[in-house]
Amino acid sequence: MTLLNWFSQRLKTNQQRQTFALSLLLFPGTFWLLLFFVVPLLIVVLYSFLERGTYGGVDWQFTLEHYARLLNPIYWGVLGRSLLLAANTTLLCLLVGYPMAFFIASRPARWRNTLLLLVIIPFWTNFLVRIYAWIVILRQEGVINTFLESLHLVGEPLDLLFNSTAVTLGLIYGYLPFMILPLYATLERFDFSLLDAAHDLGANDLKTLIRIVLPLTARGIVAGSLLVFIPAVGEFVTPDLLGGAKSIMMGNLVHSQFLAARNWPFGSALSILMMAIVLAPILIYFRIAEQKLNA
């Protein structure tokens, strides 16, 4: 500490001292990001251009073969499905989450924290356990089928598990809170007297929603959608447990390249493809936001 004091006293101007203090505060975070995010990312990029090692790992030989292999339509199919499932999940999370966030934000202040707690409570149980619970619910001798059969509504048990619908259901279930929380954060700051004003000026509920509420909560919608979409594209646990052979996602592919096939460079190339595609909507969003700010 004395060393720091000595050093900061040697800085002449206030400006210099402030800059020094700021860099001191930012150091841990910057260091963390550099070490555990930027460096691994660079390693992944590097690996994707190297030859595959015989027992995992890499041979230090430059090659583009992994990227060439990505052109195979099989992978584009998986990628397309990942994007579709993630997009569906995001849309459905938005449709379910928006009314919920709106409801919570429009309650009296003393109710809101309790209701938010209810949204967060599932986090207290391990994700794997919660997804596994869906198997218990959806399988042939599971809760739903047993119930339907006991009412003689179905003759044969329904195939509810191991398809894209089950995966989407699991994804929605898993990521709904990530949609609700940012939506709530914007809706909580929303001035509800604007609803009265819109009604007063002749707007019905639908028009009020479209012209006033949605534009003023757009940031929350975008933030929630990104928070759901990005992790959903890369998911591998949910499709692994709830999906069948036809609902493999990019995450599964990457996962299997690293662990089963032991093809690290190809796994890296897949990761980079996925990252590039996920990055696109974010960049577009920031570009639009920037333009709006400048306008």
Partner 1 sequence: MTAIELVNVSKVFLGEQQREVRAVDHVDLAIQTGEFFSLLGSSGCGKTTILRMIAGFELPTEGEVLLNGEPMGDRPPFHRPINTVFQNYALFPHLTVAQNVAFGLEMEGVSKAELHARVLELLALVQLKGFEKRRPHQLSGGQQQRVALARALVKKPQVLLFDEPLGALDLKLRKEMQLELKHMQQQLGITFIYVTHDQEEALTMSDRLAVLSAGQVQQVGTPSEIYEQPNCRFVADFIGESNFLVGQVIEQEAAGIIVLVDGELPIAIPGYTDLPIGKVVTLVIRPEKITAHRQTPTDEAGLLGKIQEIVYLGMNTRLIVQLTAQSQLIVRQQNVKRIISPMFEVGEQIRLRINPDNFQVLLEGTLRTSVQKTSKLRR
Its sign, for the CA torsion 214, 218, 224, 227, is positive
* Residue 211 binds partner 1 (CB under 8 A): yes
* Residue 290 binds partner 1 (CB under 8 A): no
Nearest distance in Å: CB 113, partner 1: 16
* Cα 284 from Cα 171, distance rounded (Å): 24
- Which range of residues in 89-97, 199-207, 233-241, 259-267 is near partner 1 by CB under 8 A? 199-207
* Residue 185 binds partner 1 (CB under 8 A): no
Q: Which is nearer to partner 1, 191 or 290 (CB)?
A: 191
* Residue 156 binds partner 1 (CB under 8 A): no
- Which range of residues in 4-12, 23-31, 33-41, 203-211 is near partner 1 by CB under 8 A? 203-211
Its sign, for the CA torsion 183, 185, 191, 193, is positive
* Residue 294 binds partner 1 (CB under 8 A): no
Per CB under 8 A, the list member of 71, 152, 202, 293 interacting with partner 1 is 202
Per CB under 8 A, the list member of 5, 9, 193, 294 interacting with partner 1 is 193
Nearest distance in Å: CB 190, partner 1: 10
Q: Which is nearer to partner 1, 154 or 201 (CB)?
A: 201
Q: Which is nearer to partner 1, 121 or 197 (CB)?
A: 197
* Residue 141 binds partner 1 (CB under 8 A): no
* Cα 108 from Cα 290, distance rounded (Å): 35
Nearest distance in Å: CB 294, partner 1: 14
* Residue 109 binds partner 1 (CB under 8 A): no
Q: Which is nearer to partner 1, 93 or 213 (CB)?
A: 213
Nearest distance in Å: CB 129, partner 1: 40
Nearest distance in Å: CB 285, partner 1: 17
* Cα 179 from Cα 90, distance rounded (Å): 8
Nearest distance in Å: CB 216, partner 1: 6
Nearest in space to 132 (alpha carbons), one of 235, 291, 242? 242
Size of the site for partner 1 (CB under 8 A): 17
Single-letter amino acid, residue 35: L
Per CB under 8 A, the list member of 3, 124, 150, 200 interacting with partner 1 is 200
The alpha carbon of residue 187 and the mean position of all alpha carbons in its chain are separated, in whole angstroms, by 20
* Residue 189 binds partner 1 (CB under 8 A): no
Nearest distance in Å: CB 221, partner 1: 14
Q: Which residues bind partner 1 (CB under 8 A)?
A: 191, 193-194, 196-204, 207, 211-212, 215-216
